[in-house]
Structure 1
Amino acid sequence: MKLMQPGQIGSITLKNRIILGAHGPGGNAEPDGRMNQRVIDYYTARAKGGAGMITTGWTRVSRDIERLPIHPLVRSYQIDSYLCASKVNELAESVHDYGTKLSVQLMLGMGRVANPSHLNLIDPVAPSDQPSFFDADITMRGLTIKEIQTLLEAFEVSAEMIRTAGADAVELNAHNGYLLDQWMTAEWNKRTDGYGGDFEGRIRFPIEIIQAIKRGAGQDFPVTMKLALGHNIPEGRTIEEGLEIVRRLEESGLDAISVDIGSYETYHMCQPPTTYPRGCWANLAEMTKKVVKNIPVIAIGKLGYPELAESVLQEGQADFIQMTRPLLADPEWPNKVKAGRWEDIRPCIGDHEGCVLRIEQRKYTSCTVNPRVMKERDFALQPAEQKKKVLVIGGGPAGMEAALVAAKRGHEVTIWEKKETLGGNMVPSSVPDFKDDYKLLIKYYRTQIGKSKVKVELGKEATLELVEALKPDVIFIATGGKPCIPDIPGVDKTLVVTAIDILLGRKKAGERVVVIGGGLIGCEVAVYLARQGKKVAIVEILDKVARNMWRGNRLHILELLKKHNVRILTSARVQEIKEGSIVVNNEKDQTEELEADTVTIATGLLPNNELHDVLAGAASEVYPIGDCDRAGKMLNAIWTGFRKARLI
């Protein structure tokens, strides 16, 4: 495979073409900007897993010009002292043990997208005076010439520290609409002093940063950049201009370029969610390959599928593959690909609940499908001190995760699943064509259960008598959730179905569909039906739909709803369901009757926990896990299964 062949970036050779992309520190920076042990363990696990190069999260060269974040969970790394550099050295030595290279991502700052709730915005800055993205009443002032010179000196000094610490390369962050990206964008850089305005002025500072790094670390020290080739907004950069920037940066000494697209206005493009197609930005890498002369191009964007990543390289679209979330989900992704164990790769599902959403919620970075992220040391699975007989009732994500973890620790594990297949509510949630990554997760779990020593009994419903006959030491009740049916006059009529009924094909939708509930399930089933040509409306009691999800995912699901002409009624209450219509009190407090052949209930799930009281005394340890304990999303199911099973 070309994916596993060595590749050259400037003066260094990577053992393969797989690069772990940078992501925010997410609670792993000490108050003085040093990396903590948790993130060193995290990166080391990815090096051990076979990545060719590790890229750290964003690292600042100055703590004076754009103030550090107040909150520790969004604090940045620093590389402005040898105390901070000592941790880079520790990380470099650790990843080098596995033949992996280390690149430190340098971050100029956030500029106009600095979040007032994250940063100490005493003196907020940008390329030129402009309002904050988050609060138009806050003005970000333009950096002064003196500050620009101070930053250039800081880049030079930091680069020398980075090389001395043993790192192998530097990556410049110039995407996502952050400060260096803003600097090269006409709408966000209106300076008139030679560092902005026209094209030459806007690229002057980035070029001088590259030159400063080369002065500090040496001309042979590789400098790469992650660049937003365009922003997909009227005021943003066009792809054509982005390609011209690439040309000029290569002439100025850049050693490699990775390209994506998007800004805070189109944030779902920067972090492609589940609903995006695989390999969504490989075409941008291909465009870039056609304009560079000698430097390698690194492809980004939902490339965590071995056959796809390989094809991007084989077809000459790119020279390297950069992936972040797939290596959060499975740090052993490269080793498993190399060994031909593709079916053992734990897939990223792109829901962002465990990674970027947690950062925004002031929690440490992790992963929905891999609870061990950033807990590699604390959550290392240990052999059980005492082998126990474990019964798992329910074969959904919580039950399967608990069963696998318990079995790995040496317990004797049995799953009882009353249906004829494993998967639980993951099965209906995976039905829409834009949820194929969920299908991969179901396949992964079924495969791992099949390879394990877990005994599976399908079509078996748990009763007290059967459980007592088995005599388990531990019971995990993982019976999932059941649809929440609102108390609405007419809800028992034949035109009323649940979202699960529709997704599993148990009921067919008519041509006119009203979906009650505008949460994640309601929005997804609305798009699913609208793509079939149905006329769909969503009725949501709250003031907006798609509330409880990461903002990038929300932006894209709203785009899909708009694209497929789904009507959305918010702050609306259903008064009655009739044969052929539904009566709604809308946001203007007016009564409105919507025609409907089918009314689909998507108002969430309730814990299916009836067995808990029945089985409370049937074993010395009884644990409800997943939706049957607290109805939630996939993260709650997988994490509770993992966390409980690792402790028994």
Structure 2
Amino acid sequence: MTGTGFPRLFAPLDLGFVTLPDRVIMGSMHTGLEETGDWARVAAFYAERARGGVGLMVTGGMAPNSEGAVLPGAAGLFTREDLANHARVTAAVHAEGGRIAMQILHAGRYAYSDGAVAPSALRSPISRHVPRELDAAGIEKQIADIATAAARAREAGYDGVEIMGSEGYLLNEFLAPHTNRRSDGWGGDFAHRMRLPVEVVRRTRAAVGADFILIYRLSMIDLVPEGQTWDEVVRLARAVEAAGATIINTGIGWHEARVPTIATSVPRAAFTWLTRRLMGEVGIPLVASNRINAPEVAEAVLAEGAADMVSMARPFLADAEFLAKAKAGRAGAIVPCIACNQACLDHTFERKVASCLVNPRAGHETELVYAPAPRPRRIAVVGAGPAGIAAALVAARRGHAVTLFERAAAIGGQLDMARRIPGKEEFEGLLAYYRRAVAAADIDLRLGTEASPDLLAPFGAAIVATGVRPRDPGIPGRQLPHVLGYVDVLRGRAPVGERVVIVGAGGIGFDVATFLAQDGPSPTTDPALWRREWGVGDPALTRGGLAAEGPRPGPSPREITLLQRKPGRPGRGLGKTTGWIHRLALQGKGVVMRGGVTYEEIVPEGIIVSDGPERADPRLIAADTVVICAGQEPERSLLDALAGRGIPAEVIGGADRAAELDAKRAIDQGSRLAARL
């Protein structure tokens, strides 16, 4: 089978001067690789994805000038040295049979510098700098610099450019009354507001010639007040086509929007209804994007006539061979993107190189290499959670003889609980992938087996990945019958009352609150319900596509109070790009969140708490159920027993360090250990 299961996905696309081999674009991602200055590493990243079957990919955003850089020192294409560096990347991609376009991104008021410029001097809520309002000469400079960047991209060997016109960056800012308060020829009515992006496309086309791919990333729905209307979106699309665009790609939402657009809790293909509506309004190919993460999802989008192409970005972090596997009839072997943001977007906003929770090699292709083992060994891995599975799979791939011990009746460990949380349904797909991968690998899996020193002594190496156990917070009254641990709750082992207090507001506490606050189907599995919950409307009815009535989340079936000892707002330690989603979702459900409390005693009527270390104002919070989510401790009993027998062992994952069930660290640790054995 060679792609026949996905006939539309693998249908060639004739652009007139070039034919693309399939209907997929690898969307732009800010990896941070270019900023490392190690261009061999950049080239290896893109070449591996071209080798895996990607026919057209788009780089992370390259600044056209210093004022347009997202961060000071952000990568661009300014000098002869830059040209040579970018040429290494394009040559590596072409050597693997791929094509690559450079994204030109002008940050506008999102630039993290005091040199930021914008249509109007309005600071964004996610920036600290008030931008300078561009005058006519400044606008001309931005147009010229973008066109020059495109010409340099062609000189460096790129097959095209993508002009970033969405997500609230500069060109999008000119389009929306939300950020364009001008009254000159670049503001006011829409004909003037769309003048800049249209002129940028026209001048760029003139600079690069006719036989060069020019993608325009167009915001289909801004999701901010006073954003664009649908009529304006259509008018812009037609004008961009007339100005010389080859392809229109989809952008969804501004970075400052209070609606999630790519997180795991967003339904798959949640915004393709917008691209479908635009189909037929223009004659050039339209690309659907956002939360398209599996070949069957992409095929369905194309089959429904919702787009001519699909954009997938993070799925190619999770698996560089995504398309090759799908084409070969091995879709079940694709490592799934779970849209967790933990190692990709969170890293970007923390100014780290982006990688992937499920694939630590992403962004580290030159230094994390799974080479055949020079001397294969018998290796025992104890614990089939994320760390143990990762270690077992990489070790087996390298040729070691691996036995994987798991005392439970199934693999997965903490992932088996994560998949039960509304909004984390993608974890079920990851768990299913691991089941298939372990079964397909040459691994001796022993379920329901408690590993012991005697059992492990004959092996050449032992890896302990026994995970964590819940921490006992030592609160008086914790043995009362209405006190439950989070494991009991998530596995449905005990009934939960209508009034619930959750002790601990870390990641697990938030997950348990989400689990208990949901009544009926998860919005992640029902796009209409999800749009209602987050207040996503129709840009044909309201500017920006925000529902006039606002968010309307379904009520919680329980009264829930979420507590933490640490002072301040609960949830501050959650993921940098997803924490706000969890907080807003629970607030919408009426969950009460309190920080800075001291737990005095659990009593039959609930829990007695006081404020701060002074233990002021002791009071009862009434509860039918108290759930303990007070952290974890490493499960090291086996490791201690092995040490007592003088049997050497490596320890990874939660057994090494218990920290909020950190699957990212666990998988990375397991993979890196197995790579060096």
- Post-superposition shift, 1:66? 4.1
Structure-1 separation of matches of 2:169 and 2:471: 42
1:16 corresponds to:
22
Greater shift in the superposed pair: 503-512 or 610-619? 610-619
Q: Which moved more, 1:43-52 or 1:77-86?
A: 77-86
Unaligned runs of 5+ in 1: none
Correspondence 1:281-300 to 2 at 5 A: 281-290=271-280, 292-300=281-289
- TM-score, scaled relative to structure 1: 0.93
Say which is worse superposed, 314-323 or 4-13, in terms of deviation: 4-13
Question: How far off its partner does 1:394 sit?
Answer: 0.7
Equivalent position of 2:47 in the other structure:
44
CA distance in 2, matches of 1:605, 1:68: 38
Q: Structure 2: where are the runs of 5+ without partners?
A: 1-6, 520-556
Stretch of structure 1 that moved more, 247-256 or 386-395: 247-256
Distance 2:121 2:224 in 1: 20
CA distance in 2, matches of 1:584, 1:325: 44
**Taking structure 1 as reference, are residues 503 and 199 closer, same or farther at Cα in structure 2, changes over 3 Å only?**
same
1:559-592 Cα offsets, whole Å, 9 max, x none, are 3212322222233333221113122335895444
Q: 1:512 to 1:30 in 2, by over 3 A?
A: closer
Match of 1:69 among 33, 53, 71: 71
Q: Does 1:458 align with 2:447?
A: yes
Separation in 1, partners of 2:22, 2:601: 61
Mapped to 2, the partners of 1:430 and 1:5 lie a distance apart of 34
Cα distance in 2 for residues equivalent to 1:485 and 1:242: 55
Q: What's the CA shift for 1:594? A: 2.3
**DSSP 3-state at the match of 1:28:** helix
Change (3 A) 1:193 1:146: same
Aligned-pair CA distance for 1:81: 3.0
Partner of 2:547: none
What is the alpha-carbon distance in structure 2 between the residues aligned to residue 465 and residue 589 of structure 1?
Answer: 54
SS in 2 for 1:551: coil
Name 2:657's counterpart in structure 1. 630
The secondary structure found in structure 1 opposite 2:54 is coil
Partner of 1:111: 108
- Name the SS of the counterpart of 2:601 in structure 1: strand
Give, in whole Å, the separation in 1 of the partners of 2:310 and 2:499: 44
Partner of 2:559: 535
State the 1:239 CA deviation. 4.3
Give the Cα separation in 2 of the matches to 1:260 and 1:489.
53
What corresponds to 2:197 in structure 1? 206
1:372 matched to 2:369? The reply is: no
Corresponding residue for residue 460 of structure 2: 473
Change (3 A) 1:66 1:325: closer
Whether contact under 8 Å (1:112, 1:133) holds in the other structure is no
Q: Please say which of residues 561-570 and 15-24 is displaced more in the overlay.
A: 561-570
Counterpart in the other structure of 1:141: 132
Separation in 1, partners of 2:134, 2:373: 58
CA contact (8 A) 2:335 2:433 kept: yes
In structure 2, distance between residues paired with 1:563 and 1:11? 51
Give how far 1:201 is off: 1.9
- Selected match of 2:599 from 571, 574, 579: 574
The residue matched to 1:243 in structure 2 has which SS? helix
Q: What is the distance in 1 between the residues matched to 2:372 and 2:195?
A: 58
- Aligned pairs (5 A) from 1:95-106: 95-106=93-104
Q: Distance in 2 between matches of 1:433 and 1:134?
A: 28
In the TM superposition, 1:50-199 aligns within 5 A as 50-63=53-66, 65-66=67-68, 69-70=71-72, 75-108=73-106, 110-115=107-112, 119=113, 121=114, 123-134=115-126, 138-199=129-190
Residues 112-511 of structure 1: matches in 2 within 5 Å?
A: 112-115=109-112, 119=113, 121=114, 123-134=115-126, 138-266=129-257, 269-270=260-261, 272-290=262-280, 292-468=281-457, 471-511=458-498
Amino acid at match of 1:114: A
Q: Secondary structure at the match of 2:101?
A: strand
* Secondary structure of 1:435 counterpart: coil
Specify whether residues 590 and 242 from structure 1 end up closer, same or farther in structure 2 by C-alpha distance, changes over 3 A only. farther
Q: Which residue of 1 aligns with 2:533?
A: none
Distance 2:500 2:510 in 1: 13
The answer as to whether partners of 1:102 and 1:167 remain within 8 angstroms in 2 is yes
Residue 24 of structure 2 aligns to which amino acid in structure 1? I
Residue pair 1:129, 1:142 contacting (<8 A) in 2 also: yes
Letter in 1 for 2:636: N
Per-residue CA distance 1:138-161 (angstroms, 9 max, x = gap): 421112322222222222322222
Query: 1:545-556, aligned counterparts within 5 Å?
Result: 545-556=570-581
- Cα distance in structure 1, aligned partners of 2:644 and 2:157: 58
Tell me by how many angstroms 1:227 deviates: 2.3
Deviations 1:607-628 (A, max 9, x none): 1112222212657641110000
State whether residues 405 and 645 of structure 1, in contact with CA within 8 Å, keep that contact through their aligned partners in structure 2: yes
Is the 1:522–1:602 Cα contact (8 Å) retained in structure 2? yes
- Cα distance, 1:67 vs structure 2: 5.9
**2: CA distance between counterparts of 1:244 and 1:298?**
17
Partners of 2:431 and 2:263 in 1: CA distance: 18
Distance 2:278 2:597 in 1: 48
Partner SS state of residue 594, structure 1: strand
Take 1:135 and 1:157, find their aligned partners in 2: how far apart are those partners? 27
**Superposed CA offset, 1:187-233 (max 9, x none):** 21222331223312221111111111111101343321222222223
Report the alpha carbon displacement of residue 324 of structure 1 after superposing the two structures with TM. Answer: 0.7
The residue type equivalent to 1:296 in the other structure is P
**For the Cα contact (< 8 Å) 1:625–1:640, is it kept in 2?**
yes
CA distance in 2, matches of 1:239, 1:388: 62
The verdict on how the C-alpha distance between 1:601 and 1:243 changes in structure 2, with shifts beyond 3 A counting, is farther
- Give CA deviations for 1:165-190 in whole Å, capped at 9, x if unaligned: 32222111122222222121212122
8 Å contact from structure 1 (residues 407, 454) kept in 2: yes
- Partner-residue secondary structure (3-state), 1:273: coil
2:668 aligned residue (620, 639, 642): 639
Task: Give deviations 1:529-576, integer Å, cap 9, x for gaps.
Answer: 111322222112231222223333122212321232222223333322
Instruction: Indicate the percent of aligned positions where both proteins have the same amino acid.
Output: 32
Query: Using the alignment, how far apart are the partners of 2:252 and 2:573 within structure 1?
Result: 25
Distance change in 2, residues 1:163/1:129 (3 Å): same
Matched, 1:601 2:652: no
Does 240-249 or 527-536 show the bigger shift?
Answer: 240-249
Tell me the distance in 2 between the aligned counterparts of 1:198 and 1:38.
46
| Kept after mapping to 2: 8 A contact 1:527/1:566 | no
* TM-score scaled by length of structure 2: 0.89
Superposed displacement of residue 8, structure 1: 3.3
Aligned partners of 1:368, 1:30: CA distance in 2, in Å?
21
Whole-Å separation in 2 of the counterparts to 1:589 and 1:181:
51
The alignment partner of 2:257 has SS state of: helix
> Please, what is the CA RMSD of the aligned residues?
2.1
CA distance in 1, matches of 2:155, 2:256: 39
Q: Is the alpha carbon distance of 1:228 and 1:617 closer, same or farther for their aligned partners in structure 2, counting shifts above 3 Å? A: farther
Aligned counterparts of 1:472 and 1:221: Cα–Cα separation in 2 = 58
Please give the alpha-carbon distance, in whole angstroms, between the structure 2 residues aligned to 1:486 and 1:79: 55
Give the match for residue 541 of structure 2.
none
The answer to whether the 8 Å contact 1:580/1:596 transfers is yes
CA deviation map 1:243-276 (0-9, x unaligned):
3322332232222212232223226634x11211
Structure 1 residue 300 displacement after superposition:
0.6
